[in-house]
Structure 1
Amino acid sequence: MDVGSGSALGVDTEVGPLRAVLLHRPGDELRRLTPRNSDQLLFDGLPWVDRAQEEHDAFAELLRSRGVEVLLLSDVLSEALTASGAARMQGIGAAVDPRRIGHALALELAGHLRTLPAPELAALLTAGMTFDELPVDASSSSLVRRMHHGSDFVIDPLPNLMFTRDSSVWIGPRVAITSLAMPARVRETSLTDLIYAHHPRFRGTRRAYESRTAPVEGGDVLLLARGVLAIGVGERTTPAGAEALARSVFEDGLAHTVLVVPIEQQRATMHLDTVCTMVDVDAVVMYEAVRDSLSAFTIRKTDDGVSISGAQPFVEAAADAMGIEKLRVIDTGLDSVTAEREQWDDGNNTLALAPGVVVGYERNVETNARLEESGIEVLRIAGSELGSGRGGPRCMSCPIARAPIPE
């Protein structure tokens, strides 16, 4: 796929008409999941990979049918590795860890990887490699090789890579490279960074943030309006990470207000977008159980630094920051059991294609009905296998170009 040209890059809001998006079609990295390693690799089940791919293909085709340019991460990664020797060195350097496999074996493995064609190297960097898959002539004198089981990973797979939202976020014309909290996901940002640094499509792209000091994940970052961000702080994003991102976007003139939103530190609410996403310029879909309890600290840029106020109710703080009278909240109804089930199944994790038009999983019948009753068009996709890693349409997509909303 040639992605050398297309829509102008940049994202100002969650709901501006979507023009281009980065997705990752699930691949062999999901076939690495077993009952023994699924918890460590952050999956609640073992997906049927062929079906997951069919579901993802249908998701991508729906986006294309609505005029969205779909960039597949495996393609742009392969093209970046083809375009730049530095990209190859960066990808290999992040994947081959001498601290884990020893200096001698690391040197031999890195040398082998440098000989691979770009598509094969791209596949290996995402799917990983076991000790059984090492080249036959790899160091037989390696103690690490002798002591590991053949099915152990010499390069870890990245099954969560299909959640492209988390490792980078576009804020205005710049991209923020995030810092992922969980060990199973840390290397994902090396591939994202490699793509933005070396792919011709992103040549000249400036960075908004690329801290390695405190975790920030893209699922916790909502662009409520031009110049207004909400950042969830919970299981993945820390207060230090949220503050660092806020100060960075202030310094670059990308935002004037950041709302920092505490969320529960648990698996079901790992990111802010698991409980709340924008569905229109003045509306969110929100998990009913947090509607009244969700709060926000407001950080504003000032002439001499920043000011911090709050906490106050999130819906009030958001409306004030966005300059609107009221933020409409569409929840999942009064049935707490259904609301909890549909929140777990990513009912609140929608991807906006335009104001009032969103993609959601078809299984969340009640939430989708509530959205439609509120005037939101819901484009339904299957997600029985895609959802096994706890992520919905928003999690699986990184918008890189949206048209601005007229002010």
Structure 2
Amino acid sequence: MTTPIHVYSEIGTLKTVMLKRPGRELENLTPEYLGRLLFDDIPFLPAVQHEHDQFAETLKEQGVEVLYLEKLAAEALKDESVRERFVSELLTESKADVNGAFDRLKEYLLSFDTDAMVDRVMSGIRKNELEKGIRSQLHEMMDDHYPFYLDPMPNLYFTRDPAAAIGSGLTINKMKEPARRRESLFMRYIVQHHPRFKGQDIPIWLDRDIKFNIEGGDELVLNHETVAIGVSERSSAQAIEQLVRNLFKRQSQIRRVLAVEIPKTRAFMHLDTVFTMVDRDQFTIHPAIQGPEGDMRIFVLERGKTEDGDIQITEEHNLPDVLKKTLGLSDVNLIFCGGGDEIASAREQWNDGSNTLAIAPGVVVTYDRNYISNACLREQGIEVIEIPSGELSRGRGGPRCMSMPLYREDVK
């Protein structure tokens, strides 16, 4: 590997991936605050860790190098001045100055070794962890009963969203929901300070301080020339346009972006919850994102014919036709989640039946619970490697959501 980032397809043989093992942050979920923290249920930590370990082991057995976000972050923050800057920035973004608690929280976090500090930042800091002296007498009398000085980050095991690899570079994303916005800070520090990435001149196509929202679950690299991005509940058209302009200005290989509009609902959330690539000409899709005649709104963004950075935009409505044209295919095969059955497709899409992780052309990792969708994939010649999903699926994300590819071999 001559560069730490190399992702020019969704299906090229996966060589390096970043995961996050679920941790104590899940045990800081309570029914009262599930909505605030973007969860529908509370996973059982030992079971969800066991399932995630099996996911990681499955990837390793296929020859994939597995890196862990929490370990990379700790290794990036070994320098004392970098660690102090990180803590200050994180606390500021967390608005963790309740009753003047900022300085005490900073002191508390910096009192730990780096690994323990990262764990506590990710897990959240309960008010009862710190001595009562941090809270004023008036606040004791008017306590709002919110239990945290620093909110937990239970969504961190969905490493796909805070940052995403496109070509040789990254988008470090401004996430839509406040509960997740701090997550991309880890990737910024990893790229800037971890020995594996520091000094590698990695292009940052979009950084996390942009004005508009975008998330990695909406970013799909279809081939070395074409990227698809969902216009979704979590990613805005404005951010997509800014990304396109930056890509066109700073590199020459990627020539077009397909902006695919999907319903803006939590059930669909990101493009990869309803559409993923499983082979050179085969894709999974949830039929509910198409209209009665299979129509959709797809905007093809290409370089303009002038040299002033203009973008040429064409609106299309037929997904197979767009894929054939832009990917140079004679035909494409859309494999319906749940076999297209109204009930089965809705049920299995809720459990991420379309959220496949391709580890090679025609080889995907899926949740075992989506047995109808998995059977449909196998019927089309796709090799399906199932992983257990009783607890992992409670977070509303599948194998693609839980993985951030950093290096894929090019598709021959």
Of 164, 178, 196, the residue aligned with 2:173 is: 178
Write out aligned runs for 1:3-402 (5 A): 8-83=4-79, 85-96=81-92, 99-102=95-98, 104-134=100-130, 136=131, 138-141=133-136, 147-148=142-143, 152-203=147-198, 204=200, 205-210=202-207, 211-253=209-251, 254-291=253-290, 292-304=294-306, 305-332=310-337, 333-402=339-408
Counterpart Cα distance in 2 of 1:222 and 1:241: 15
Counterpart Cα distance in 1 of 2:271 and 2:123: 28
Query: TM-score, normalised to structure 1's length?
Result: 0.93
Q: Over residues 38-89 of structure 1, what are the superposed CA-to-partner deviations in whole Å (9 max), with x where a residue is unaligned?
A: 1111111111111000000000000000000000111111111114632442
Report deviation, 1:98: 8.2
Q: How many residues matched?
A: 401
Report deviation, 1:91: 3.7
SS in 2 for 1:248: helix
Between the aligned residues of both structures, percent identity stands at 37
Q: Over residues 102-144 of structure 1, what are the superposed CA-to-partner deviations in whole Å (9 max), with x where a residue is unaligned?
A: 473212221232232101110011101011112x275344755
Report deviation, 1:313: 1.6
Counterpart Cα distance in 2 of 1:196 and 1:282: 33
Report deviation, 1:320: 1.2
SS in 1 for 2:406: strand
Q: Over residues 261-290 of structure 1, what are the superposed CA-to-partner deviations in whole Å (9 max), with x where a residue is unaligned?
A: 111111110000010000012211111233
Counterpart Cα distance in 2 of 1:97 and 1:132: 21
Q: Quick check: 341-350 or 150-159, which moved more?
A: 150-159
SS in 2 for 1:60: helix
Structure 1 residue runs without a partner (length 5+): none
Q: Over residues 20-43 of structure 1, what are the superposed CA-to-partner deviations in whole Å (9 max), with x where a residue is unaligned?
A: 000000000000111101111111
Counterpart Cα distance in 1 of 2:98 and 2:377: 54
Distance 1:88 1:24, change over 3 A: farther
SS in 1 for 2:78: helix
Distance 1:91 1:374, change over 3 A: farther
Distance 1:92 1:26, change over 3 A: farther
Counterpart Cα distance in 1 of 2:184 and 2:54: 26
Report deviation, 1:191: 1.5
SS in 2 for 1:267: coil
AA aligned opposite 1:342: E
Report deviation, 1:178: 1.0
1:84–1:198 contact (8 Å) kept in structure 2: no
SS in 2 for 1:202: coil
Q: Over residues 241-269 of structure 1, what are the superposed CA-to-partner deviations in whole Å (9 max), with x where a residue is unaligned?
A: 11111111111225210011111111110
Query: TM-score, normalised to structure 2's length?
Result: 0.92
SS in 2 for 1:201: coil
1:131–1:148 contact (8 Å) kept in structure 2: no
Distance 1:97 1:374, change over 3 A: closer
Instruction: Let me know the Cα RMSD of the aligned residues.
Output: 2.0
1:181–1:237 contact (8 Å) kept in structure 2: yes
Q: Quick check: 162-171 or 74-83, which moved more?
A: 74-83
Counterpart Cα distance in 1 of 2:273 and 2:109: 38
Counterpart Cα distance in 1 of 2:143 and 2:214: 33
Q: Over residues 177-207 of structure 1, what are the superposed CA-to-partner deviations in whole Å (9 max), with x where a residue is unaligned?
A: 0110011101111112122221111112331
Distance 1:329 1:99, change over 3 A: closer
Distance 1:403 1:88, change over 3 A: farther
